[in-house]
Amino acid sequence: MQATDVDSEMMREAIHQAQKCNSTDPAKPKVGAIIAIGGTIIGQGSRGEDHHAERNAIASVVNTAQLAKATLYTTLEPCTPDVRSDPLTCCTALIQQYHFQRVFIGILDPNQAVRGKGLWNLQTHGIDVELFPPDLANEIRILNADFIRFQQSLGLQITNAIDGQEIRTWNNNGIFDLEGTYENPPQSDTFALSFGSGRWYFQPHPVRVIDENHKRWSTRFHFGDYNPHTLYIVKANELGVVLVNYYRKVTSINTDRTKRLKEKFPNEEAFLKTLPGDYPGIEMGKLPKGLEMQARVDVILEQPPK
């Protein structure tokens, strides 16, 4: 499918529709869609609060029987059934339902869990798909810079703690389970990290998905004192993963050493208390290099009753 001058004009009209979006929510992209037969526009739409641009454009068409002869120009890759609560309302299903033969896509979805699936879905159903040229795609990326940045993060929210909240751990062996929601699921490069008394402590438990349908995650924090702490969820690059693995190696050596000494000197409790802690922490004033904060909360640990 070779793009013509008319196609280029329609692509620019789709970008113009995207520019009409006024949402300030970074989780919602600015998307425009044009439906045309040759150089005649028969439908147009922008992404709204409830409906995607493609759906709004189709709804604006007076005679939907024309859609089988029309071309759809959309600035963002159409969504697929697996990302919609009602699969039949997804944009790829609508495109197939109305028998579009040609679709031009501005940019692929920046969400790694979605990217390419819409394009693949359309192609597997016999629809010709082409991307906007690089210069127009770049305009769309600039327009959606906040959305792209949001999608490249995990979009984590903490739901069971707020800044300044007092949490109780003294009756639970120093344990607190932090929970929240996500836009993109945490992966093996996502870690829990706490900061207290000038030290950073990598937590031993993973940040894991506990409910895919409602996009919920959880992780467990351990505390050794009752000082104020800041709880972080971070994403690590290659350097950060090395740091996490090294820290866990050190703590593993320390806990093994403590275990062996307790077995060797079972009656030397006073001596054993003089040993350095198993979890020394990293003395740094700011987040260690190689780690990118995804969510954080400041908490106060409730003092145990006297």
Mean pLDDT, the chain, whole residue set: 91
Whether residue 126 has pLDDT greater than 90:
yes
DSSP states along 189-218: TEEEEEEETTEEEE-SS--EEEETTTTEEE
At residue 94, the pLDDT reads 94
At residue 240, the pLDDT reads 93
Q: Which residues contact residue 179 at a Cβ distance below 8 angstroms, ignoring those fewer than 6 apart?
A: 158, 159, 160, 210, 216, 217, 218
Q: Which residues contact residue 232 at a Cβ distance below 8 angstroms, ignoring those fewer than 6 apart?
A: 192, 193, 194, 195, 287, 293, 294, 295, 296
For 5-50, write each residue's pLDDT tens digit: 999 999 999 999 999 998 888 888 999 999 999 999 999 999 987 7
Average pLDDT over residues 161-178: 94
Average pLDDT over residues 185-212: 93
For 132-165, write each residue's pLDDT tens digit: 999 999 999 999 999 998 887 888 999 999 999 9
Work out whether strand 128-131 and strand 229-236 pair parallel, antiparallel, or are unpaired. Answer: unpaired
At residue 85, the pLDDT reads 59
Phi-psi region of 122 (alpha: psi -120 to 50; beta: other; left: phi over 0): alpha
Whether residue 112 has pLDDT greater than 90:
no
What are the structural domains of the chain?
5-152 (3.40.140.10), 157-301 (no CATH)
For 42-90, write each residue's pLDDT tens digit: 999 999 877 899 999 999 999 999 999 999 999 999 998 876 656 667 8
Average pLDDT over residues 273-281: 76
Query: For residues 166 and 24, which has the higher predicted lDDT (pLDDT)?
Result: 166
* Cα–Cα nearest to 175, from 194, 156, 159, 157: 194
Q: d(Cα 92, Cα 89) in Å, to the nearest integer?
A: 9
Query: For residues 241 and 1, which has the higher predicted lDDT (pLDDT)?
Result: 241
Sign of CA dihedral 250, 256, 258, 264: negative
Rounded to 10 deg, the angle between the 134-143 and 145-152 helix axes is 80
